[in-house]
Structures are given as structure tokens and as C-alpha cells.
């Protein structure tokens, strides 16, 4: 049975009710996990307010600010987790960013600063998370990230984010090899296209979703809840033999050649 009772799960990347992270947090909560979440701090405090309101029904025991480009804030977040929970069992990395200007057009036009910024937020942050989570996962653990097929194959407009996802997926493998002896598993879910704040920045997302309706074996794209269910499985002992893998939750689209 999928039971996460007694597990402490920290979920990053909730922006609003469409966020994949929100789908994941709800499923982890349903399976009995004790939940913590972050919000991306902004000057007017809007993100914090929005996240606090949204997550109320799942009653998180931690709601912390985190911008993955702010090392001090990141350290504070993991210190707060250590202080409040003692141990961490599940860490969900569900965030990414690229300047909208470079999620379309010619890939060769991406300037160095936009490239580095995208790779820093979208890929390096997983490695940095693992660095902090390692000493807290004293009873083993599960680290999970979110990827997309555009990190393996060329997808229209995905451009620099595809390169970041490629780095992210390889980080999953290196981290899984490093952390396996501590019984910390590291996996990724490669999700089909879902309409969210982040995906709306990628040119032609609605066309991609329509394409899924015609081409994917299940003749549709996937929901946040379906991604959340797989996340709960990967976070649980039911998947105790799985690490270093990228699991496709994409209605089967990845297998198609045409």
C-alpha cells in the first residue's frame, strides 16, 4: 500500500493551483506525508500570500522562502527543515526558469547570461538541493525532479530549457550513483505538456497539447494529478528498487516515431 505516514516531504515549486508541484503536494499529503513547501519571495509578498492561501487545506508544517539563486536563503531553508523536522525523507524539485525571449526563435541567439541563468535555476539547483539534503536524509530518502522530453529530443521553441533539462537528467544519474549507498534514491519524472505559468512561456504550448490529443497513445496529455500519483509512488517504499531513472508520465508520447 502507498503509505507515507511518518515521512517528511518538502515540495518546492508551487506558484499557483496549476503548478505541477501543487499536484504533487496534494498526492503526498493524501498518502499521509507531513508536508513543507516553499514560495519564491518577491518584493510585495504576493507569492507568499498566494502560496499560503492555496496550501491551507494540506496544512503544511513548514512554509519557507526560497530563491535557488540566493545561497544564504537556501541554507536557511534547509536549517529550518533540520530544526523543525530533524530528518528529511522526501525532497521534490519542481522548478525551472528561462527568459521567455529565448523560449522561441533561433537557439543560437541565446546570450551567455540567459544560458547561465537558465542552467543555474533549472539544473544546478537540483545538485545544490542534494548537497543540503544529503546530511538530513539520515534514514534514506527520495529526491525527485521534473523534466521534459525536450531535454532528450528537439522540441519546438524549448531551446535553452532543453539544454538545461539535459543537464538536469544527467545530474539525476550522477546524484543517484553518489547517494545510493546512503539509500537515498534520485529520480526524475518527464511529464507531458500541462498548461502552467512556466509552460505558457514556451511558444506554442497549446499546439503541443493539441498534438498530444492526436499523437500520444492515450490520445491526450496528462494531468497534474497523474504526475502527482507517480511522484507519490517514487517517493514511497513501493519504488525502493528504482533510482537514477527518468520515468515518462506523458500518455505514452515518448515511444512514438511519428
Ligand X SMILES: NC(=O)c1ccc[n+]([C@@H]2O[C@H](COP(=O)([O-])OP(=O)(O)OC[C@H]3O[C@@H](n4cnc5c(N)ncnc54)[C@H](O)[C@@H]3O)[C@@H](O)[C@H]2O)c1
Beta-sheet strands, E only, within the chain: 8-11, 34-39, 62-65, 90-93, 141-147, 184-191, 246-249
Counting residues that bind ligand X (by CB under 6 A) gives 27
Choose, by CB under 6 A, the member of 9, 11, 14, 118 that binds ligand X: 14
Which residue from 9, 244, 36, 34 is spatially nearest to 141, judged by alpha carbons? 9
Q: Name the segment binding ligand X (CB under 6 A); options: 7-15, 100-108, 129-137, 177-185.
A: 7-15
**Per rule CB under 6 A, is residue 95 in the interface with ligand X?**
yes
Which residue from 27, 58, 5, 8 is spatially nearest to 233, judged by alpha carbons? 27
**Per rule CB under 6 A, is residue 197 in the interface with ligand X?**
yes
Query: Is 253 tagged catalytic?
Result: no
User: Residue 12 has which C-alpha cell?
Assistant: 518546492
How many Cβ atoms from other residues are within 10 Å of residue 213's Cβ?
Answer: 12
Q: Which is nearer to ligand X, 28 or 146 (CB)?
A: 146
Q: How far is CA 62 from CA 33, 77, 121, 131, in A?
A: 13, 10, 22, 20
Choose, by CB under 6 A, the member of 8, 26, 199, 236 that binds ligand X: 199
Q: Please report how close the Cβ of residue 122 comes to ligand X at its closest, in angstroms.
A: 6
d(CA 146, CA 95) in angstroms, rounded, equals: 8
Binding mask 33-72 for ligand X (x = CB under 6 A): -------x-------------------------xxxx---
Q: Please report how close the Cβ of residue 112 comes to ligand X at its closest, in angstroms.
A: 18
Query: Is 248 tagged catalytic?
Result: no
Q: Name the segment binding ligand X (CB under 6 A); options: 127-135, 143-151, 174-182, 238-246.
A: 143-151
Span between the terminal Cα atoms of the chain, in Å: 38
Choose, by CB under 6 A, the member of 94, 103, 119, 234 that binds ligand X: 94
Query: Out of 39, 102, 158, 248, which one is annotated catalytic?
Result: 158
Question: According to CB under 6 A, which residues from 97 to 136 bind ligand X?
Answer: 97, 121
Q: How far is CA 190 from CA 25, 55, 81, 131, 165, in A?
A: 17, 24, 27, 23, 10
d(CA 44, CA 41) in angstroms, rounded, equals: 9
Given the rule CB under 6 A, which residues bind ligand X? Answer: 13-15, 18-21, 40, 66-69, 94-97, 121, 146-148, 191, 193-194, 196-199
Which residues are annotated as catalytic?
A: 148, 158
Amino acid at each position: 500500500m502507498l503509505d507515507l505516514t511518518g515521512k517528511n516531504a518538502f515540495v518546492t515549486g508551487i506558484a499557483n493551483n496549476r503548478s505541477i508541484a501543487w499536484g504533487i503536494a496534494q498526492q503526498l499529503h493524501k498518502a499521509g506525508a507531513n508536508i513543507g513547501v516553499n514560495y519564491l519571495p518577491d518584493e510585495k509578498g504576493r507569492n507568499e500570500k498566494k502560496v499560503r492561501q492555496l496550501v491551507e487545506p494540506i496544512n503544511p508544517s513548514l512554509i519557507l522562502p526560497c530563491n535557488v539563486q540566493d545561497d544564504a536563503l537556501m541554507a536557511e531553508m534547509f536549517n529550518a527543515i533540520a530544526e523543525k523536522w530533524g530528518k528529511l525523507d522526501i525532497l521534490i524539485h519542481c522548478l525551472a526558469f528561462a527568459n521567455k525571449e529565448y523560449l522561441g526563435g533561433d537557439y543560437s541567439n541565446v546570450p551567455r547570461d540567459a544560458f547561465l541563468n537558465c542552467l543555474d535555476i533549472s539544473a544546478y539547483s537540483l545538485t545544490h538541493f542534494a548537497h543540503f539534503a544529503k546530511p538530513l536524509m539520515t534514514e534514506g530518502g527520495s529526491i525527485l525532479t521534473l523534466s521534459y522530453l525536450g531535454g532528450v529530443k528537439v522540441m519546438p521553441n524549448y531551446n535553452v530549457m532543453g539544454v538545461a533539462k539535459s543537464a538536469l537528467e544527467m545530474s539525476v544519474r550522477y546524484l543517484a550513483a553518489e547517494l545510493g549507498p546512503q539509500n537515498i534514491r534520485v529520480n526524475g519524472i518527464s511529464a507531458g505538456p500541462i498548461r502552467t505559468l512556466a509552460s505558457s512561456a514556451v511558444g506554442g504550448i497549446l499546439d503541443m497539447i493539441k498534438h498530444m490529443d492526436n499523437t500520444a497513445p492515450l490520445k491526450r496529455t496528462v494531468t497534474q494529478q497523474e504526475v502527482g500519483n507517480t511522484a507519490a509512488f517514487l517517493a514511497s517504499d513501493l519504488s525502493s528498487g528504482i533510482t537514477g531513472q527518468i520515468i515518462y508520465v506523458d500518455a505514452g508520447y515518448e515511444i512514438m516515431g511519428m
